[in-house]
Amino acid sequence: MESVTEYEDYRIYMQDYYNERKRVSSFSWREFTRASGFSSPTYLKLVCEGKTRLSPQGAEKVGAAMNLAGFELEYFKSMVTYCHAKTDQERKIAYEAMLELASNNKIKIIGGDAFKYFESWVHPVVRELAPIMPGATPGDIARRCCQRVSAGEVRESLDFMVRVGLLKKKGDAYEQVDKHLKGGGSSAVSVALRYMHQEMARFAEESIIRFAPVERNFTGLTMGVSAEDYKKILQELDVCRKKVAQIALNSRGTERVYRLNLQLFPLTWKEDKSDAE
């Protein structure tokens, strides 16, 4: 079976471990549970079904029963923490611990680069600025950003994007590489995206005060629609976003880096509030 670092859901890893052992022997849930030090013969089966969960102490025992040791055991324990996190901030911290463990042991996590790119506004902004500022130092790029960022953070961002192939360095200049980072349906990448959306929404709120109306554009519409019309509106927004992206792609030059937020969200619950929960 695949290495534990190929997973971000500990329940799936445990199930795969059980299935592999079962395929080549008479392995049972009772045996698996007993080896992990639990008395209930079906406890780990219930864990894998999502009906109960592992505690930090339980993660230690189950990991050892699956012959995990060293950084792999620590990775499994961090994965349990990640899966049980209640907030995006807690999930982000736990996943970063998983990434660090893998990196320190020269192992690449699928979706790890996408997570790192989307977890901060710095990377997409620097990716747009660096190519139009040949010869600029990280400090020069940092001073061009409206949001506070250090020269060190810009340098780290540049090094990261060159390493993962989003930027290419030619002499003292950078070029964008037509590459897209994908997380393959990774829940961690979804966490990073939500984190970035929160940052960008906060910047949008601040921009109402920081910039004159001629430098930014805010419009809004409050409306009542059906579920069917909501889907149609999403389609129109997607078409609009693609048209704007094409305009930017064909632009003759970059003077500033802008962020476009397309926001459509409910202001009321459905008539039956239980449908929305």
User: Can you read off the two tokens belonging to residue 212?
Assistant: 């004159």
pTM: 0.76
Is 76:68 a contact under the CB 8 Å cutoff? yes
Q: Which pLDDT value is given to residue 267?
A: 82
Is 73:60 a contact under the CB 8 Å cutoff? yes
Q: Which pLDDT value is given to residue 130?
A: 95
152 inside domain:
no
158 inside domain:
no
Residue-wise pLDDT tens digits, 188-212: 888 888 989 999 999 999 999 999 9
274 inside domain:
no
Q: Alpha-carbon distance 138 to 161, whole Å?
A: 14
Residue-wise pLDDT tens digits, 94-118: 999 999 998 888 888 878 888 999 9
177 inside domain:
no
Q: Alpha-carbon distance 257 to 255, whole Å?
A: 7
Instruction: Give the domain CATH number at 68.
Output: 1.10.260
Residue-wise pLDDT tens digits, 29-52: 999 999 999 999 999 999 999 999
Question: Residue 274 above 80 pLDDT?
Answer: no
14 inside domain:
yes
Cβ burial 264-275 (10 Å sphere, 16+ → b, else e): eeeeeeeeeeee
252 inside domain:
no
Q: Alpha-carbon distance 244 to 60, whole Å?
A: 50
User: Can you read off the two tokens belonging to residue 202?
Assistant: 């906060």
Total structural domains in the chain?
1
User: Can you read off the two tokens belonging to residue 71?
Assistant: 């950084």
258 inside domain:
no
> In the chain, which ranges are continuous DSSP H helix?
10-24, 29-35, 43-48, 56-65, 70-84, 88-104, 112-118, 122-129, 138-144, 151-164, 187-210, 227-249
Is 164:91 a contact under the CB 8 Å cutoff? no
Structural domain of 11: 4-105
208 inside domain:
no
